[in-house]
Amino acid sequence: MDRKPGRPRALTVELIAHAALDDGISTFSMPSVARRLGVAHSGLYRYVTDRDDLLIQAIDMAAASAKWPNPDQPWEQVLREIGETVWRLCDAYPGIDRALQLVPRPVPGVSVLMERYVTSLAEQGFMVEDAAVGVEFAITLTLDSSAQMSRLAAMQAAHPGREGIPALKGFDIDEVWVGRGFYARKLDIFLTGLATRRLGHEA
């Protein structure tokens, strides 16, 4: 239950970020977070610069709460498990898919994780640039697929039976519209291509 404004409670950046997550990562505002905490709106600015700063803090907190894969596994397993972890975050925090895609600057904790996984792939025979692309793709494919499935769900709700929704050949199958859509297919295609670029496998 939202608290009524009154005597300010003891605040921390962590407490404010947690309130933003509870309020909705894609919809919170500084006033709504202040109301949830029962403090004056102006009091938040002693801890965060603006909404963008709070968004980054909240995403960082969400990412830190996730169980990320061990980077010492085979590269393909690492990338697949990164995708699974991001899917769990999208399920736990609706709207985080778009929030991460639109965040105005890097999220520190996510950057640290990415660097760790890039190092792992580079040590397993990839050029560091290809390793970076691989890690980024595993994350962004999941974020885009999650957002896409939300859009498709809204379209189906507006058009029962998908009547009136044009579908191109190859996209007119149930796989596109249910579960994770083409996510697994896209990931398999990418990983197959990425495998051919390992330094140890070059002709």
The domains found in the chain, sorted by start residue, are 13-60 (1.10.10.60), 67-201 (1.10.357.10)
Please state whether the predicted TM-score (pTM) of the whole model is above 0.95: no
pLDDT of residue 6: 46
Q: Determine the Cα–Cα distance for residues 130 and 106; give it in Å rounded to an integer.
A: 20
Taking alpha carbons only, the member of 28, 83, 84 closest to residue 56 is 28
Model confidence over 83-119: pLDDT tens digits? Answer: 999 999 999 999 999 999 889 999 999 999 999 999 9
Q: Which amino acid is at 149?
A: M
Model confidence over 133-185: pLDDT tens digits? Answer: 999 999 999 999 999 989 888 888 888 877 777 777 877 778 888 899 999 99
Q: Determine the Cα–Cα distance for residues 56 and 105; give it in Å rounded to an integer.
A: 8
Inter-residue contact 82 to 139 (CB < 8 Å): yes
Taking alpha carbons only, the member of 89, 6, 4, 46 closest to residue 16 is 46
